[in-house]
């Protein structure tokens, strides 16, 4: 996935932008304002790692180790995604811009009746840009991005889930505006199963409580909770209610597939024309963004394979070829790649999303 982002965004990713806000060093804060609890927040000191120092007022009573691990493993300072990096999905982008970004940027305007939704669900097939949207929301609103998958909550954080959730929301409030992104949120907030163990049940309850808490606390700053799922139907009613916005992130349509293919092709030398890109877009009905990336990756290997075959014919070591021997990617390579790759989302799968969207999806 990282490779895809790099491919799509190029060097822009390396730009470090204003998300590096770390915990204050409380000692500095204390010196600056007579030890008051509301010391200036931004500083480059990570409180979690300063074991012998005190936690800021807002985080008192929480486990320092957990805070540190959240800082290291969950705060995502990676690729800075913008809405321009995301092809298509105009409806989702517009909705997000109006109902999330604008309020997060203008918190004073959006209080009381105009309050911001605190929970949003992005649902749809895998590889369609749900993670990208969450990252773009975070970046465009200048928020701290906390990112975690449900599977790591039940593996890596096993046994600590409940405390983690509480600490995570506290740290997010402290560093507000924040976005907490949970991938595969269905397995966390799934309808209760009989084999569910005590600790995952507790963690789920803690999540629901934390989301409600964030909603009620007007002074908490903006903490937006975003869940992504390919299985929206598995989320139970209590959890579903917390996601005020529920957006369908659908497969790219033909025009957007062309945009994606064109963008991916700019990363390597190629002779593919606009007309040929349009033909590829036509032939890839049902492909997700991630499927298209795989297709293009395969096509990009075409010229390398050709050069290897030539070296082998000439009796040379085919594992040692120079970049000069590798030609541009052509339409032929794309057509060959089409034969060896296929779409990963079936029409039946899609039907499920369309139905769920009709019943539960946000209309605006």
The CA-based angle 226-231-233, given to 5 degrees, is 100
The residue (of 28 and 259) whose beta carbon lies closer to ligand ADP is: 259
Give min distance, CB of 81 to ligand ADP, in A: 9
Give min distance, CB of 239 to ligand ADP, in A: 19
Q: Please select the residue that binds ligand ADP; options are 123, 157, 243, 293, rule is CB under 6 A.
A: 293
The residue (of 66 and 185) whose beta carbon lies closer to ligand ADP is: 185
Q: How many residues bind ligand ADP (CB under 6 A)?
A: 22
Q: Whats the size of the chain, residue-wise?
A: 364
The reply to whether 89 sits near ligand ADP by the rule CB under 6 A is yes
Give min distance, CB of 132 to ligand ADP, in A: 4
Query: What region, left, alpha or beta, does residue 34 occupy, with left being phi > 0 and alpha being psi -120 to 50 degrees?
Result: left
The reply to whether 200 sits near ligand ADP by the rule CB under 6 A is no
Q: Please, are residues 23 and 47 in contact by the beta-carbon 8 Å criterion?
A: yes
The residue (of 88 and 103) whose beta carbon lies closer to ligand ADP is: 88
Q: Which residues of 170-193 are buried (b: 16+ CB within 10 A; e: fewer)?
A: bbbbbbbbbbbbbbbbbbbbbeee
The reply to whether 5 sits near ligand ADP by the rule CB under 6 A is yes
The residue (of 128 and 187) whose beta carbon lies closer to ligand ADP is: 128
The residue (of 56 and 88) whose beta carbon lies closer to ligand ADP is: 88
Task: Give the pairing of strands 178-183 and 223-229.
Answer: parallel
The residue (of 5 and 25) whose beta carbon lies closer to ligand ADP is: 5
Give min distance, CB of 310 to ligand ADP, in A: 32
The residue (of 234 and 325) whose beta carbon lies closer to ligand ADP is: 234
Residue 245 is inside which H or E element, if any? strand 245-248
**How many C-beta atoms surround the C-beta of residue 139 within 10 A?**
21
Of 13-21, 81-89, 173-181, 313-321, which segment contacts ligand ADP by CB under 6 A? 81-89
The reply to whether 86 sits near ligand ADP by the rule CB under 6 A is yes
Site string for ligand ADP, 15-54 (x = CB under 6 A): ----------------------------------------
The residue (of 25 and 138) whose beta carbon lies closer to ligand ADP is: 138
Per the DSSP assignment, residues forming a β-bridge with 147 are 181
Report the distance separating Cα 214 and Cα 97, nearest Å: 21
Give min distance, CB of 107 to ligand ADP, in A: 27
The reply to whether 141 sits near ligand ADP by the rule CB under 6 A is no
Give min distance, CB of 216 to ligand ADP, in A: 29
Tokens of 29: 């804060």
Q: Please select the residue that binds ligand ADP; options are 232, 252, 302, 303, rule is CB under 6 A.
A: 252
Tokens of 247: 């957006």
Of the candidates 348, 120, 127, the residue with the CA atom closest to the CA atom of residue 257: 127
> Which residue pairs from 262-271 have beta carbons closer than 8 angstroms and sit at least 24 positions apart in sequence?
263/8, 263/87, 264/7, 264/8, 264/292, 264/293, 264/296, 265/296, 265/329, 267/7, 267/10, 268/300, 268/328, 268/329, 269/327, 269/328, 269/329, 270/328, 270/329, 270/330, 271/328, 271/329, 271/330, 271/331
- Report 271-290 residues binding ligand ADP (CB under 6 A): 289-290
Give min distance, CB of 166 to ligand ADP, in A: 26
- Report 208-237 residues binding ligand ADP (CB under 6 A): 228
First-to-last alpha carbon distance for the chain, in angstroms, is 29
Tokens of 172: 């997010």
Q: Please, are residues 249 and 133 in contact by the beta-carbon 8 Å criterion?
A: yes
Site string for ligand ADP, 96-135 (x = CB under 6 A): ------------------------------xxxxxxx---
* Interacting residues toward ligand ADP by CB under 6 A: 1, 4-5, 8, 86-89, 126-132, 228, 249, 252, 260, 289-290, 293
């Amino acid at each position: 996935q990282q490779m895809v982002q790099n491919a799509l965004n190029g060097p822009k990713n390396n730009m470090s932008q204003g998300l590096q806000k770390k915990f204050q060093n409380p000692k500095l804060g204390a010196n600056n304002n007579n030890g008051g609890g509301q010391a200036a927040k931004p500083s480059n000191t990570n409180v979690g790692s300063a074991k012998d120092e005190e936690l800021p007022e807002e985080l008192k009573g929480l486990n320092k180790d957990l805070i540190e691990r959240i800082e290291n493993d969950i705060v995502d300072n990676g690729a800075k995604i913008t809405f321009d990096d995301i092809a298509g999905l105009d409806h989702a982008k517009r909705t997000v811009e109006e109902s999330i970004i604008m309020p997060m940027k203008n918190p004073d305007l959006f209080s009381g009746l105009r309050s911001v939704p605190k929970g949003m669900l992005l649902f749809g097939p895998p590889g369609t840009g749900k993670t990208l949207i969450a990252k773009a929301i975070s970046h465009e609103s200048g928020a701290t991005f906390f990112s975690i998958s449900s599977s790591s909550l039940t593996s890596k954080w096993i046994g600590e889930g409940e405390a983690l959730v509480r600490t995570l929301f506290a740290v997010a409030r402290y560093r507000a505006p924040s976005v907490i992104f949970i991938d595969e949120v269905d397995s966390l907030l799934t309808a209760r199963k009989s084999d569910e163990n005590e600790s995952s049940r507790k963690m789920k309850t803690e999540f629901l409580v934390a989301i409600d808490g964030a909603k009620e606390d007007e002074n908490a700053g903006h903490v937006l909770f975003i869940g992504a799922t390919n299985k929206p139907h598995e989320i139970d009613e209590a959890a579903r209610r917390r996601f005020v916005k529920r957006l369908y992130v659908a497969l790219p349509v033909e025009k957007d597939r062309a945009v994606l293919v064109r963008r991916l092709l700019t990363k390597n030398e190629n002779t593919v024309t606009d007309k040929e890109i349009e033909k590829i877009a036509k032939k890839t009905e049902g492909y997700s963004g991630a499927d298209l990336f795989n297709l293009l990756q395969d096509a990009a290997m075409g010229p390398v394979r050709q050069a290897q075959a030539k070296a082998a014919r000439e009796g040379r070591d085919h594992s040692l070829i120079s970049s000069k021997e590798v030609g541009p990617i052509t339409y032929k390579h794309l057509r060959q790649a089409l034969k060896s790759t296929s779409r990963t989302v079936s029409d039946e799968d899609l039907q499920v999303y369309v139905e769920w969207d009709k019943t539960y999806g946000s209309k605006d």
